[in-house]
C-alpha cells in the first residue's frame, strides 16, 4: 500500500476525532482543512516531513478563517492547494528517503557479492598452488628415479616441463582473476578508480600519469589522492607482497619527494609503512607515466 493510500484514511479519522476545532460552527471548510493538516502532522511516518509546506498550509488556513466573504473563494482555493502540497511533499520526501535506503542496501549487497567472489577466487588460487606443489614434488621423484637411464630422465624432464607450464598458466590465470575481483572490491569500497595496471615478471605494475601530481610540485593532485586511496584499499584485500614506489622526473630530488608522497598516501590509507619502499629516478616523466607502484606477487 502506498504512503498516500495510508495517509488519506488518517485525514478522515482526524476530521472525526477533532470536531471542536476552531471555527467549527462558523466555517466547516476551515475545520476540514485543519483536520487534514492535523492528520498529516500526527502521522508517525511522514508527520515530521515537509515542515515548510505544512507551515504554509497552516498560514493559508488561518487566512481562510479570517477572509472576508468576497475573498473567501480565492482563500479557500489557496488553502486547499497548500494542504494538498504539504501532503504530497511529505509523501514524496518519505518515498525519496525510502529510495535512498534501498539504494544503500543494493550497494551493500553488491559489495557482499564481490567479496564472496573474491574469496572463492582466493580459495581456487590456493587449491591450484597446492596442486602445483604436489605435482612438482611427484615430478621430482620421477626425475630422480630415472637418473640411471638417460632416455628415461629426458622423458621425465619433458613431462615435468609440460606439467609445470600448464600449472603455471593456471596459477597465473587464477591470480589474475583474484586481482580483478580485488580491484572491483577496492573500487567499490573506496569509491575511486584504480590506476591502470599490467602483470610483469617483477609483479603487478600500476602506472600513475603526470596529472596525479601538482604541476612542478611533489604534492599529489586530487586525481592522485583518489588513486592512492583506491590503491591502499586494494593492497589490504587478500595477501599482497612488498610494494615499491618509483617516481620519474629529471629533477632527482623532486622525483624522490613524489615517491614519498605516494608512500605517505598509502600509509594513510592503512598500508603498513614497512611494506613499502619509495625511490625516485632522474628520468623524464611522460603524460601517461610519472610514477609506478609495483606490487610483488
Tell me the HSE value of 270 on the side-chain side, using a 13 A CA sphere. 11
More confident residue, 23 or 183: 183
Whether the per-residue pLDDT at 208 is higher than 60: the answer is yes
| Entry pTM | 0.45
Position 92 scores a pLDDT of: 95
Phi, psi (rounded to 5 degrees) for 77 = -60, -45
- Phi/psi of residue 45, nearest 5 degrees: -90, -40
Q: What average pLDDT is seen over the chain? A: 85
State residue 258's pLDDT score: 94
Interstrand relation of 291-295 and 276-281 (parallel, antiparallel or unpaired): unpaired
Q: Distance between CA atoms of 290 and 211, rounded to whole angstroms? A: 8
**Residue that is written with C-alpha cell 617483477 in the block:** 202
Q: Is 250 helix (H, G, I), strand (E, B) or coil?
A: coil
* C-alpha cell, 296: 610483488
Query: How far apart, in Å, do the first and last CA atoms of the chain sit?
Result: 55
pLDDT at 257: 95
Query: Mean of the pLDDT values across residues 206-210?
Result: 95
Gap between the Cα atoms of 164 and 157, Å rounded: 10
Nearest Cα to Cα of residue 91 among 18, 5, 23: 5
Lowest model confidence (mean pLDDT) among 52-61, 173-182, 203-212: 173-182
Q: Percent of the chain beyond pLDDT 90?
A: 54
Q: To the nearest 10°, the Cα dihedral for 45, 48, 53, 55?
A: 130
Given this model, what pLDDT does residue 8 score? Answer: 45
- What whole-number distance in Å separates Cα of residue 249 and Cα of residue 259? 10
CA-CA distances (angstroms) from residue 210 to 218, 267, 286? 11, 21, 7
Q: Do residues 115 and 185 make contact, with C-beta atoms less than 8 angstroms apart?
A: yes
Q: Report strand pairing: 243-248 vs 291-295.
A: antiparallel
Under 8 Å CB-to-CB from 254, ≥6 apart: which residues? 216, 218, 280
**What value does the mean pLDDT take over residues 149-178?**
70
Nearest to 235 by CA among 290, 197, 282: 197
For 237-253, write each residue's pLDDT tens digit: 877 789 999 999 999 99
pLDDT band at 15 (very low <50, low <70, confident <90, very high): very low
Location of C-alpha cell 614497512: 274
pLDDT computed for residue 118 by the predictor: 83
Amino acid at each position: 500500500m502506498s504512503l498516500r493510500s495510508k495517509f488519506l484514511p488518517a485525514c478522515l479519522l482526524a476530521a472525526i476525532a477533532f470536531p471542536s476545532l476552531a471555527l467549527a460552527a462558523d466555517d466547516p471548510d476551515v475545520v476540514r482543512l485543519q483536520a487534514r493538516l492535523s492528520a498529516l502532522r500526527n502521522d508517525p511516518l511522514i508527520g515530521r516531513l515537509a515542515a515548510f509546506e505544512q507551515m504554509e498550509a497552516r498560514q493559508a488556513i488561518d487566512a481562510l478563517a479570517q477572509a472576508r466573504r468576497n475573498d473567501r473563494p480565492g482563500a479557500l482555493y489557496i488553502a486547499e492547494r497548500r494542504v494538498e502540497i504539504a501532503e504530497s511533499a511529505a509523501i514524496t520526501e518519505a518515498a525519496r528517503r525510502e529510495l535512498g535506503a534501498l539504494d544503500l542496501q543494493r550497494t551493500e549487497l553488491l559489495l557482499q557479492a564481490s567479496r564472496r567472489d573474491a574469496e572463492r577466487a582466493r580459495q581456487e588460487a590456493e587449491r591450484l598452488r597446492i596442486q602445483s606443489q604436489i605435482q612438482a614434488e611427484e615430478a621430482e621423484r620421477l626425475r630422480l628415479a630415472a637418473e640411471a637411464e638417460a632416455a628415461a630422465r629426458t622423458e621425465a624432464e619433458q613431462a615435468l616441463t609440460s606439467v609445470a607450464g600448464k600449472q603455471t598458466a593456471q596459477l597465473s590465470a587464477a591470480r589474475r582473476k583474484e586481482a580483478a575481483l580485488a580491484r572491483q572490491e577496492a573500487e567499490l569500497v573506496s569509491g575511486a578508480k584504480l590506476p591502470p595496471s599490467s602483470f610483469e615478471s617483477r609483479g603487478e605494475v600500476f602506472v600513475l600519469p603526470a596529472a596525479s601530481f601538482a604541476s612542478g610540485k611533489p604534492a599529489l593532485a586530487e586525481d592522485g589522492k583518489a588513486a592512492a586511496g583506491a590503491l591502499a584499499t586494494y593492497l589490504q584485500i587478500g595477501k599482497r607482497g612488498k610494494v615499491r614506489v618509483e617516481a620519474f622526473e629529471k629533477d632527482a630530488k623532486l622525483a624522490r619527494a613524489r615517491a614519498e608522497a605516494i608512500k605517505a598516501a598509502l600509509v594513510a590509507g592503512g598500508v603498513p609503512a614497512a611494506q613499502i619502499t619509495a625511490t625516485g629516478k632522474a628520468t623524464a616523466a611522460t603524460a601517461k607515466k610519472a610514477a609506478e607502484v609495483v606490487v610483488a606477487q
